[in-house]
Structure formats: structure tokens, C-alpha cells
């Protein structure tokens, strides 16, 4: 994972104009969405902002954590993901088993288990390493000022639209019905089975890391003091806990877990229609809810307002940390990797019913077996992606700046 170097954090009275501007954009955006669309949407945009800050300040990576384990057998990032998933499962499964949370109906992300998930997750995994990020990582690094990730995001959207065009064919391939841990073991048994799997993965990373290095990697030291929570950096475990708690809050407010990439498909479809295209005959858009979203404002889409919140929240975090400094100097090979990676990310996410958030994090938190299949297939894709990286990038595999 990333080690951040930072000067002494400033006091509130000495925050940069960039930080004040980013905070103003987030608050005014949430107020506008709340006023013109609905109060719930405004609150969800603020939660998105909190997610962006957590992701940035904790440098909570999926892509980088998997790459470092594959290349160096360092598993601190993977173990943090297991902590995040364990806390989420303990919070989610009782509510999903009951069907309601605080008196409101809730549902998880439980999807079919089939060929499309295997292929889609594998392609997504390759795209993670070439594109330089996952779904959450693309958003928070764009917000943090990474200009290259704008290219990844643009082609992530293009790949998502292409995926919706082919969605019906992929869904015609063999698949099992959606199944959750609750269906198999009940709520308590589902929690226990999930925790055993998380512990097993964490133990495996410990064994592999000690075999390679003799001891576990020490977490980097971070500054002390209350201002550290405003300006970062944060311990990675704080990020894991923060993401799990915020996802639970999303479940309570939205009635379903955190997702990201369905909004990319929607943005791309609306752009395609704006230039004369027609997506309404495609199988993906035959779903009544998705069809309705095509005719509505994008700000009425829960995932859209949260994605915008993540970008603004990460921009605020980067400004508070004094690290918001975009650069347009991007090597051509890196641009090529961003294009290819973005296309694979978008296409793979549609086939696999989600990304590292909707399928992996929220899927496993929902007890969905398709989330576990996604993990295996996406990790295999990451292994291939790591082997392809030298064609596009030079330097060490370990990232030197906050990334997914």
C-alpha cells in the first residue's frame, strides 16, 4: 500500500482556498440535489463525499493491494479488505435476513452465478491493472487531481455502454440462480461461514508474506493529533472500518448497498442518445427501472449523486492534504493503458453484475455467492494484468501515489 509523506497539518484557519472551494462545491451540490430532487439524494451525495475522503486519506486501494500481494507477497492491504468485509457482513446480514432496517425495506446485491460473471470479473481484473484503478479508485483519484484517470474514466463509461449492448447475449449463457449465504445457512450461519472465509484469506496472506519476507510489513507511521483526521493520512484499518460503516448507512438510506458502475452505463447511454443513438431496444435497458432512468434526470439516480460526491469528497481530501496538483504530462504508453484498461473495466463490470464495490464489497456483504466468484475471477485477471503492465509502465509495481 501507499506510504504518504506529509508536512505538519494546517489549522482550520489556514486551509487553502482549494480546500474551501471543494468543501463549498460538495455542500452546495448536496443542497441543490436535496432541494430539487429530494432530501435523501442530498444526504447520499454527502455520504459519497465522506466515501471520497475515506478512500483518499486512507489510500484504500483494491488494485494496488492486489498488485503488491501478487508481486511482493505483501498482504497488509488484502487483510484490511477482509476486516472491511467482516464488519460489513456482521452489519448487513441481520438486516437483509429480516428484510428491513430501521423499519424500512432493504435488499442486497445477490446476482446469478454463471459464465458472464467469470468472464466479466476476469476482464475487470485485467482492466484494474492497466487502467490503474478499480471503480472506486478511478473516482477518488480523478477527484484527487489525477489527470490520467480521467482517460480511464471516459473509456470506463464507453466500455459500460458496449457492455449493455451485449448484456442480453451474455445472460443467455449458462448460470445458476442467485444464491446467498442466508439461503444456504441462515443469517447466523451465513455470518459464521463468511467470517471463516475472511479469516482463511487473511491467514493465507500472513503465511505467504512470512514465507517471502520472514516477517509482516509494518504499517507506516502517521502524524498524531486531531487535525490528522481532517488532513490525512489515515491508517488503512481506519479506512476499512469507515467504508464498512458508510456502506451500512447507504443500505439504511437507499434500501440497497453501495454501487458505482451502473451510473457509468447510464451516463454513457444518455450521451449516446444525445448524439442520435438509441439504446432502448438493448436487453439491459428492458428492465423497467433502468428504462425509467433513461427518461429521468441523472440526479434522480442514487448511484450518480454518490459518484459525484466521491469525486468532490476526494478533491476536498486532496486539497486538505495539500496534494491537489493535476499534471497533463502523461506518457503515450500510459494513455494507451488507460484506454484499454477503461474499456475492460466498463465492459467487465456490466457482464459481472458490478465491480469491486457492487459485486465484491457489497455483493459479499450481501452474502451473495456471485461476490465470491467475482473475487476469484477478478484476482486471476489481476495476475494477468500485472504481467501486462511492463508493456505500458516502467518502474516498480508498488505505487508511489494514492491510487486504487
Could you tell me how far CA 368 lies from the centroid of its own chain? 17
CB 389 within 8 A of CB 51: no
How far apart CA 318 and CA 358 sit, in angstroms, is 25
Which cell numbers in the block locate residue 355? 465491480
Instruction: Give the model confidence (pLDDT) of 9-22 as tens digits.
Output: 444 446 788 889 99
Instruction: Give the model confidence (pLDDT) of 162-202 as tens digits.
Output: 999 999 999 999 999 999 999 999 999 999 999 999 999 99
Residue 137's domain spans which residues?
A: 16-220+228-391
Which cell numbers in the block locate residue 229? 483526521
**Buried-exposed string 128-152: b where 16+ CB fall within 10 A, e elsewhere:** bbbbbbbbbbbbbbbbbbbebbbbb
Residue 180 covered by a domain: yes
| Whole-structure pTM value | 0.93
Residue 69 covered by a domain: yes
How far apart CA 398 and CA 347 sit, in angstroms, is 26
Residue 5 covered by a domain: no
Could you tell me how far CA 333 lies from the centroid of its own chain? 25
How far apart CA 224 and CA 219 sit, in angstroms, is 14
Paired with 37 in beta bridges are none
Say what the pLDDT of residue 402 is. Answer: 41
Say what the pLDDT of residue 8 is. Answer: 43
Residue 310 covered by a domain: yes
How far apart CA 112 and CA 104 sit, in angstroms, is 25
Alpha-carbon distance values, 362 to 88, 247, 267 (Å): 8, 8, 22
Residue 404 covered by a domain: no
Helix (H, G, I), strand (E, B) or coil at 168: helix
Which cell numbers in the block locate residue 216? 509482516
* Dihedral sign from CA coordinates of 341, 344, 350, 356: negative
Which cell numbers in the block locate residue 103? 423499519
Residue 258: phi, psi to the nearest 5? -70, 135
Residue 8 covered by a domain: no
Please give the DSSP secondary-structure letter assigned to residue 215: S
Say what the pLDDT of residue 1 is. Answer: 39
CB 131 within 8 A of CB 338: yes
Grid cell 484557519 is found at: 13
Helix (H, G, I), strand (E, B) or coil at 131: helix
Instruction: Give the model confidence (pLDDT) of 290-336 as tens digits.
Output: 999 999 999 999 999 999 999 999 999 999 988 888 888 899 999 99
Residue 27 covered by a domain: yes
How far apart CA 97 and CA 184 sit, in angstroms, is 12
Region 349-359: mean pLDDT is 97
- Structural domains of the chain, count: 1
Alpha-carbon distance values, 317 to 53, 138, 140 (Å): 5, 15, 10
User: What percentage of the chain carries pLDDT values higher than 70?
Assistant: 93
Average of per-residue pLDDT values in the chain: 92
Residue 375 covered by a domain: yes
Amino acid at each position: 500500500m501507499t506510504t504518504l509523506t506529509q508536512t505538519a497539518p494546517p489549522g482550520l484557519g489556514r486551509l487553502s482556498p482549494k480546500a474551501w472551494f471543494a468543501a463549498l462545491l460538495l455542500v452546495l451540490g448536496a443542497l441543490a440535489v436535496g432541494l430539487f430532487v429530494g432530501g435523501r439524494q442530498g444526504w447520499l451525495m454527502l455520504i459519497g463525499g465522506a466515501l471520497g475522503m475515506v478512500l483518499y486519506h486512507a489510500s484504500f486501494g483494491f488494485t494496488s493491494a492486489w498488485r503488491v500481494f501478487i508481486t511482493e507477497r505483501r498482504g497488509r492491504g488484502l487483510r484490511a479488505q477482509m476486516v472491511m468485509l467482516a464488519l460489513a457482513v456482521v452489519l448487513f446480514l441481520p438486516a437483509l435476513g429480516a428484510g428491513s432496517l430501521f423499519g424500512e425495506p432493504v435488499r442486497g446485491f445477490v446476482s446469478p452465478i454463471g459464465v458472464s460473471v467469470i468472464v466479466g470479473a476476469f476482464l475487470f481484473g485485467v482492466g484494474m491493472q492497466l487502467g490503474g484503478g478499480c471503480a472506486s479508485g478511478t473516482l477518488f483519484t480523478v477527484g484527487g487531481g489525477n489527470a490520467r484517470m480521467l482517460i480511464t474514466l471516459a473509456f470506463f463509461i464507453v466500455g459500460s455502454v458496449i457492455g449493455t449492448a451485449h448484456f442480453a447475449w451474455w445472460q443467455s449463457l449458462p448460470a445458476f440462480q442467485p444464491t446467498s449465504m442466508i439461503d444456504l445457512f441462515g443469517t447466523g450461519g451465513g455470518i459464521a461461514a463468511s467470517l471463516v472465509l475472511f479469516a482463511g484469506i487473511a491467514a493465507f496472506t500472513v503465511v505467504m508474506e512470512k514465507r517471502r519476507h520472514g516477517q509482516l510489513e509494518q504499517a507506516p507511521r502517521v502524524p498524531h493529533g486531531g487535525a490528522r483526521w481532517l488532513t490525512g493520512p489515515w491508517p488503512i484499518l481506519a479506512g476499512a472500518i469507515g467504508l464498512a460503516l458508510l456502506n451500512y448507512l447507504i443500505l439504511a438510506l437507499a434500501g440497497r448497498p453501495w454501487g458505482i458502475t451502473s451510473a457509468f452505463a447510464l451516463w454513457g447511454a444518455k450521451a449516446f442518445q444525445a448524439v442520435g443513438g438509441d439504446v432502448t431496444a438493448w436487453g439491459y435497458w428492458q428492465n423497467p427501472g433502468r428504462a425509467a432512468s433513461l427518461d429521468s434526470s441523472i440526479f434522480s439516480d442514487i448511484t450518480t449523486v454518490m459518484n459525484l460526491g466521491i469525486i468532490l469528497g476526494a478533491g476536498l481530501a486532496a486539497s486538505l492534504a495539500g496534494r491537489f496538483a493535476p499534471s497533463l504530462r502523461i506518457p503515450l504508453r500510459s494513455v494507451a493503458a488507460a484506454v484499454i484498461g477503461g474499456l475492460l473495466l466498463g465492459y467487465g463490470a456490466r457482464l459481472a453484475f458490478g465491480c469491486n464495490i457492487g459485486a465484491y464489497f457489497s455483493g459479499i456483504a450481501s452474502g451473495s455467492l456471485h461476490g465470491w466468484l467475482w473475487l476469484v475471477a477478478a484476482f486471476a485477471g489481476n495476475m494477468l494484468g500485472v504481467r501486462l503492465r511492463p508493456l505500458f509502465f516502467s518502474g516498480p509495481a508498488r505505487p508511489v501515489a494514492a491510487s486504487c
